Amino acid sequence: METTLLVSHNDITAEKVDIIVNAANRTLLGGGGVDGAIHRVGGPDILAACKVIRQERGDLPTGQAVATTAGKLQAKYVIHTVGPIWTGKDIPAMKGLLADCYRNSLSLADNLRVESIAFPNISTGVYRFPKELAAEVAIRAIKRYLNQFSSQIKEVRFVCFDAENHEIYQKLFSQG
């Protein structure tokens, strides 16, 4: 089954999809950026669910993904994933961890049997991952997952909040 990949220039909390992905930190206790927006709009139930996961599993390792309620958001679930913090060193490892965020989120979405998922530009804000490289890694990781597994996900959205990311994704999508 064909999965549609789309670019959206939006606040991810306004996206009408089954799953909204959060660029969280290892504590799962919230933060700024998209993490802050998701908790602010989604309400306290999301943080409460994160705390339960934290009690069971402790810190969430970079590249891993967990699902919680979406609270007041127009989604069924929020998937929290932790992107790598850019250091400029071990670039292949950094790219691998960022790809893990996308792949593990998609795998979890398939387990949840949903049809649509929206990703923010993970690690490209506070975590300072170069935006163009992050976009290439994200698109490649998702295409590889969809080629490798028979996913029932019908739509994957790359939600760009800042203009720079939006231009990068539009350029990469136009290159096919």
Give me the active site residues, please. 35
- For residue 117, CA distances in Å to 58, 75, 145 come to 26, 9, 14
Strands 116-119 and 155-160: parallel
Residue in 5, 31, 140, 143 binding ligand APR, rule: CB under 6 A: 31
- Give, in degrees to the nearest 5, the angle at Cα 135 between 18 and 175: 105
Residues contacting ligand APR: total by CB under 6 A: 26
**24-32, 47-55, 92-100, 148-156 -> range binding ligand APR (CB under 6 A):** 24-32
Binds ligand APR (CB under 6 A): choice among 42, 63, 71, 125: 125
| Cross-sheet strand order for the sheet of 4-9 | 4-9, 155-160, 116-119, 19-24, 77-82, 65-69
What type of residue sits at position 28? L
- Please give the residues from 102 up to 121 whose contact with ligand APR meets the rule CB under 6 A: 120-121
Q: Which is nearer to ligand APR, 102 or 127 (CB)?
A: 127
CA 144 to chain centre: 16
Closest to ligand APR by CB, 84 vs 114, is 84
Q: Does 165 bind ligand APR (CB under 6 A)?
A: yes
Q: Which is nearer to ligand APR, 57 or 128 (CB)?
A: 128
The span of 58-66, 90-98, 105-113, 122-130 binding ligand APR (CB under 6 A) equals 122-130
Give the Cα separation of 16 and 18 in Å (integer): 7
